[in-house]
């Protein structure tokens, strides 16, 4: 059951929505800061936080491996050369796609994620030298030139966005990029 109450857009409502969005994103960031600090055996296949929304239990490794492989295969079939990944998290896609690219930029709002990925990227693997990381919220495209990427990946992050307006800002920025 639902009902609709017509309401005109006002500056006050927009400010309230922006404050709520900022708070929502901030809470998700705090959760991920803690999660990405956990030690893992294989930093290129870090499944920390990949839990079923139905059971709350960790998604089985083989299911995750199949999902990652299929996702990577679909993206690589498009032969992207300049890729931006918004919400690169633990690097599940980055470590598999970046070696095939001329440029790969992974962004995430979690400093812990960026720090962990930086350690792995800087371990001397020559196939990852063209990769870069940037900390920031998904809707921040400051300094990203129009047309600088031929693919933008938004994989398993939109469900954390605080609303449709936020999603639209991210998609508009991604299209420009």
Q: Which two three-digit tokens encode residue 91?
A: 């690097």
Instruction: Report yes or no: 149 and 177 within 8 Å, Cβ to Cβ.
Output: yes
Q: What is the 3-state secondary structure (H, E, C) of 7-62?
A: CCCCHHHHHHHHHHHHHHHHHHHHHHHHHCCCCCCCCCCCCCCCECCCCCCECCHH
Measured between alpha carbons, how far is 122 from 146 in angstroms, rounded to an integer? Answer: 28
Instruction: Report yes or no: 120 and 44 within 8 Å, Cβ to Cβ.
Output: yes
**What tens-digit pLDDT sequence spans the chain (177 residues)?**
555 566 655 545 555 556 656 676 666 656 556 666 667 778 889 888 888 888 989 999 999 999 999 999 999 999 999 999 999 999 999 999 999 999 999 999 899 999 989 988 887 778 888 999 999 999 999 999 999 999 999 999 998 898 999 999 999 999 999
Instruction: Report yes or no: 120 and 95 within 8 Å, Cβ to Cβ.
Output: yes
The domains located in the chain, with CATH, are 14-176 (3.40.50.150)
């Amino acid at each position: 059951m639902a009902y609709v109450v017509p309401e005109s857009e006002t500056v006050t409502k927009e400010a309230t929505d922006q404050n709520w969005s900022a708070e929502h994103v901030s809470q998700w960031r705090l959760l991920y800061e803690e999660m990405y600090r956990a030690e893992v055996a294989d930093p290129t296949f870090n499944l920390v936080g990949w839990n079923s929304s139905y059971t709350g239990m960790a998604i089985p490794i083989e299911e995750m491996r199949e999902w990652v492989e299929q996702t990577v295969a679909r993206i690589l079939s498009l032969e992207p050369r300049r890729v931006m990944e918004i919400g690169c998290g633990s690097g599940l896609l980055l470590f598999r796609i970046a070696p095939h690219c001329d440029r790969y930029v992974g962004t995430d709002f979690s400093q812990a994620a960026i720090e962990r990925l930086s350690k792995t990227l800087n371990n001397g693997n020559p196939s990852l030298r063209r990769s870069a990381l940037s900390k920031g919220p998904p809707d921040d495209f400051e300094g990203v030139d129009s047309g600088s990427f031929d693919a933008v990946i938004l994989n398993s992050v939109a469900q954390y966005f605080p609303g449709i307006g936020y999603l639209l800002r991210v998609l508009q920025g991604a299209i420009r990029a």
